[in-house]
Structure 1
Amino acid sequence: MAEKPKLYYFNGRGRMESIRWLLAAAGVEFEEEFLETREQFENLLKDGYLLFQQVPMVEIDGLRLVQTRAILNYIAAKHNLYGKTLKERALIDMYVEGTTDLMGLMRPLFRLDPEEKEKNLRLISEQVPKRYFPVYEKVLKDNGQSFLVGNQLTWADVQLIETILMVEEIEPTLLRQFPLLQVNRDQITMYLM
């Protein structure tokens, strides 16, 4: 039996959260080592494990992978969550990048001063229902499935559900006008449980 992947990150969501979600969707158990002290992080640096001097890092299949996108690509491809064709992979990449852009609007909320936070919240409340959610609603309609690409769960669906749940934490009402996204959220959530 292969060893469980081991995840190295701080004790929080951050950039590791998408990796956790994707491993869960693949049904892969994993271990985590939370970096709680500066010394733990510096030991990883000293040992040469952090090529770009940052985490997340995942030990998997004899590899020490860094850079979130590289880790996600590897896990998605290994566990058949990255489409069946090159065309499907391109669509998955495109949809994932859109959710990544949206997540980028939300992640700084936890570090902003109150005035900047309020400004960012307004931007999210404007951008989500006008720029992001309509795209995914249309993709689901055009695909005629409960999934964004093809007829099975992909990395794009996993990334979308994580993003939807982040949005709902910030503004619970934004999803109401998108019935297909609600169905996608509910079905993917059931799949992951």
Structure 2
Amino acid sequence: MSGRVALHYFNGRGKMESIRWLLTVAEVEFDEYFLTTREQYLKLLDDGALMFQQVPLVEIDGLKLIQTKAILHYIAEKYNFFGNDIKERAMINMYSEGLMDLMEMMMVLPFVEDPKPKLDNIQTKAKDRYLPVFEKALTGPVYLVGGKLSLADVLLLEATLMLEEKFPAILADFPSVKSFQGRMRQIPAVSRFLQPGSKRKPQPDEHYKETVLKVFNITAPFL
């Protein structure tokens, strides 16, 4: 294996996509090793690579990191996307945790027998609970915390793009968030990541769902 960052996950978004986004914005090259069989997953277990028997797994700096938040925090600390002091870090964490809650609601949709009620709930919560927070925070400032790009900004971009895939007009009542998204799109690394052929993953399809269920030996539907 090369000395580059190595990502072990499915060939799809899931919890690894935020990690791909953050590495991309940090302009860190990474290799991907896709789980396609249960045997691959069991080998990672046998090798002791998965502390809690879970992926994502990221190999970086000689470490084998699991748990999405821990991985994101490590990368954010390493590449200076985690604020200037403990107070800024607390704000970044609060924004980030809210965004991850929102995105996790969308991540489960492929595994739900009837997604419509969940979609309605996501749209309502996005408009009533989440987006107003970021609209207020971005009325004036360019970035969410400390006047500089942080983990929270990267997650907000990812989340708004995911929302627009499901609800194309959802940002119509949130002009500051929409302007923020436009500014983020102009970052060269972001612009490249949004182009066809990048390592950004498409919306999950039936093949992605079947692969996840097969690797984890789960019978669908389970939600």
TM-score by length of 2: 0.82
| Equivalent position SS for 1:32 | strand
| Contact 1:7-1:33 at 8 Å conserved across structures | yes
Q: Distance in 1 between matches of 2:180 and 2:54?
A: 34
Structure 1 counterpart of 2:31: 31
Letter in structure 2 aligned against 1:134: P
Structure 1 counterpart of 2:158: 162
Query: Comparing 145-154 with 25-34, which one deviates more in the overlay?
Result: 145-154
Structure 2 counterpart of 1:60: 60
Q: Distance in 1 between matches of 2:88 and 2:164?
A: 28
Letter in structure 2 aligned against 1:72: L
Q: 2:118 aligns with which of 111, 117, 120?
A: 120
Instruction: Encode CA deviations 1:32-90: one digit per residue, 9 max, x unaligned.
Output: 00011111111111010111111110000010101111100000000000001111100
Structure 2 counterpart of 1:135: 133
Structure 1 counterpart of 2:9: 9
Q: Distance in 2 between matches of 1:37 and 1:6?
A: 18
Letter in structure 2 aligned against 1:163: A
Letter in structure 1 aligned against 2:113: D
CA root-mean-square deviation: 1.1
| Equivalent position SS for 1:90 | helix
Q: 1:182 aligns with which of 171, 178, 181?
A: 178
| Equivalent position SS for 2:173 | coil
| Contact 1:15-1:56 at 8 Å conserved across structures | yes
| Equivalent position SS for 1:33 | strand
Shift of 1:3: 2.2
Structure 2 counterpart of 1:48: 48
User: Is the helix fraction higher in 1 or 2?
Assistant: 1
Q: Distance in 2 between matches of 1:150 and 1:133?
A: 20
| Equivalent position SS for 1:8 | strand
| Equivalent position SS for 2:153 | helix
- Larger RCO (alpha carbons 8 Å, 6+ apart): 2
Percent identity, please.
51
Letter in structure 1 aligned against 2:127: P
Letter in structure 1 aligned against 2:60: I
Q: Distance in 1 between matches of 2:123 and 2:23?
A: 30
Q: Distance in 2 between matches of 1:136 and 1:35?
A: 35
Structure 2 counterpart of 1:109: 109
Segments of structure 2 that go 5 or more residues without pairing to the other structure are: 192-223
Q: Distance in 2 between matches of 1:153 and 1:187?
A: 11
Structure 2 counterpart of 1:78: 78
Q: Distance in 2 between matches of 1:75 and 1:146?
A: 22
Structure 1 counterpart of 2:147: 151
| Contact 1:6-1:59 at 8 Å conserved across structures | yes
TM-score by length of 1: 0.94
Q: Distance in 2 between matches of 1:42 and 1:29?
A: 27
| Contact 1:146-1:183 at 8 Å conserved across structures | no
Structure 1 counterpart of 2:196: none
